[in-house]
Amino acid sequence: MWKKWFSDKAANKQIDYNTIDLTRLPCHVAIIMDGNGRWAQKKGLPRTFGHRAGAETLREIVRTASEIGIKVLTAYAFSTENWRRPADEVSLLMSLLAEYLDNEINELDKNNVQIRFIGKIEELALTLRKKIEKAQAQTAHNTGLILNLAVNYGGRAELTRAVKIITEKVLNQELALEDINEAIIEENLYTANIPAPDLLIRPSGDFRISNFLLWQVAYAEFWFTETNWPDFKSENFLQAIRDYQQRERRFGGIKNTKKR
């Protein structure tokens, strides 16, 4: 189904994917979906319109990522700090998430997408949690794109959680102190068994990480654009990938050395 969608767009020359080397795609792309409020304000609309438009962008980018063969897409939807916003904005964001799941899950499933959630899901409302569990269970067997939605996610909270889990194991003598290493920490992050992001995209003109994937982005390539998330299109996504393919990643080594 998505094949058709993607080819139609390509036929309309809206998407030029010929200049992308499909054999050297970033395995994991992370996106901070930012700028919804500014997009709406610029149009004289309430912020909520920006969030609705932002959800549309997510639909489009998930399709494109899946179609070109990206393995993992992690999208930051709601941070542990976003609770500081007015209650009506928070509740709209939660409803939009529920709506996204209701409307998209069957299509995601049909297209072999596996949806996962990262963050303190246990703190969300029960009705939303149920939808999240259902969506994860329905798509758990899929082998295509892994779509990680970061909801009530914070990098510091994730690391704090990992420290607690590991400490408990040490206290219970299931793990020796000297055996704690980077691999053990990684195993206790929400992203266990998922390779670290190769490319991190932040739209809307801010150049900061805002508590996203603090551990995981250690060697990610960062790509910024002034475009606000609701105006971000497949072409912007593909441009980020093209630019990524021009970068030289050294992982602390020197040119042409491979990551260990």
**Tokens standing for 9?**
């767009």
Question: What minimum distance in Å lies between the beta carbon of 122 and ligand IPE?
Answer: 19
**Which residues from 21-40 bind Mg ion, rule CB under 5 A?**
34
Minimal CB distance to Mg ion: which residue? 34
Nearest to ligand IPE of 123, 168 (CB atom)? 123
Q: What is the DSSP string of 16-67?
A: --TTS-GGG--SEEEEE---HHHHHHHTT--HHHHHHHHHHHHHHHHHHHHH
- Of 16, 18, 82, 152, catalytic: 82
Question: What minimum distance in Å lies between the beta carbon of 141 and ligand IPE?
Answer: 28
- The response to whether 37 counts as a known ligand-binding position is yes
- The response to whether 80 counts as a known ligand-binding position is yes
Burial degree of 90 (CB within 10 A; 0-12, 13-18, 19+): middle
Q: Which amino acid is at 243?
A: D
109, interface contact from Mg ion, ligand IPE, none, CB < 5-8 Å by kind: none
Nearest to ligand IPE of 142, 227 (CB atom)? 227
Torsion of CA 230, 234, 235, 237, to 10 degrees: 90
**Tokens standing for 150?**
């970061």
- The response to whether 84 counts as a known ligand-binding position is no
169, interface contact from ligand IPE, Mg ion, none, CB < 5-8 Å by kind: none
Which segments of 172-233 does DSSP mark as H helices, in order? Answer: 182-187
**Tokens standing for 34?**
């930012």
Please confirm, yes or no, whether 206 is among the known catalytic residues: no
Cβ atoms within 10 A of the Cβ of 208, count?
10
Give the number of residues in contact with Mg ion, rule: CB under 5 A.
Answer: 1
CA-closest candidate to residue 36, choices 164, 167, 203 = 203
Nearest to ligand IPE of 46, 184 (CB atom)? 46
- The response to whether 34 counts as a known ligand-binding position is yes
- Of 8, 18, 21, 34, catalytic: 34
Please confirm, yes or no, whether 82 is among the known catalytic residues: yes
Residues labelled catalytic: 34, 82
- Known binding residues for substrate are 35-39, 47, 51, 79-81, 83, 85, 202, 208-210
- Known binding residues are 34-39, 47, 51, 79-81, 83, 85, 202, 208-210, 221
